[in-house]
Amino acid sequence: MTDVKHMKWWGWGVEGVGFHFEDKPDFVPFVQKAVALDVRTPPVPPLSFDQLTVAPPRLSPSFEAELVAIVGEDNAHTSDEVRVVHTYGKSIRDLLRIRRNEIARVPDIVVYPADEWDVQQIVDAAVSQGAVIIPFGGGSNIAGSLEPLPDEQRTIVSLDLGRLNQVLEIDEGSGLARIQAGAQGPDIEEQLGAKGWTLGHFPDSFTHSTLGGWVATRSSGMQSDKYGDIADIARGLRMVRPGTVVELRPLPSTSTGPSVREMIIGSEGRLGVITEVTVQVHRTPEVREVQAYFFPNWKAGLAAMHEISESDASPSVTRVSDARESGFSLATRKASKGVTGAAQSVLMSVLKRRGWVLDDMCLSFIGYEGAASHVSYEKKLVGAIVKKHGGIGVGKGPGALYDQKKFDTPYLRDFLLDRGAAADVSETAAPWSRLQEVYDTTVAAAQRAYDALGVHGWIMCHLSHSYHSGACLYFTFAFVHGDDPIAQYEVVKYSIQQAFQDAGGTLSHHHGVGVEHAPWMEQDISAGGVALIQGLFDSADPQHLFNPGKVLGPVQLGKADVELLVESTDAKRAVPAPAEH
8 Å CB contact between 434 and 422: no
CB atoms within 10 A of CB 42: 7
The candidate with the shortest Cα–Cα distance to 208, out of 196, 219, 195, 197, is 219
Question: Which helix (DSSP H) or strand (DSSP E) does residue 428 occupy?
Answer: strand 421-431
The candidate with the shortest Cα–Cα distance to 168, out of 176, 159, 158, 160, is 176
Q: Residues 6 or more apart from 387 whose CB is under 8 A from it? A: none
How is residue 539 annotated by DSSP?
Answer: H
Q: Residues 6 or more apart from 549 whose CB is under 8 A from it? A: 149, 515, 518
Residue-by-residue DSSP string for 144-210: SSSPPPTT--S-EEEEE-TT---EEEEETTTTEEEEETT-BHHHHHHHHHTTTEE-----TTGGG-B
Question: Which helix (DSSP H) or strand (DSSP E) does residue 404 occupy?
Answer: helix 397-405
Question: Which helix (DSSP H) or strand (DSSP E) does residue 407 occupy?
Answer: none
Q: Which of 368, 450, 474, 494 is catalytic?
A: 474
CA distance 9 to 99: 10
Is residue 474 among the annotated active site residues? yes
CA distance 384 to 263: 42
Q: C-alpha 355: how far from its chain's center?
A: 38
Q: What angle do CA 235, 237, 242 make, to 5 degrees?
A: 155
CA distance 491 to 468: 34
- Phi/psi at 111 (5° precision): -120, 145
How is residue 333 annotated by DSSP?
Answer: S
CA distance 146 to 134: 7
CA distance 308 to 469: 12
The candidate with the shortest Cα–Cα distance to 395, out of 406, 378, 383, 404, is 383
Q: Which residues are catalytic, by number?
A: 474
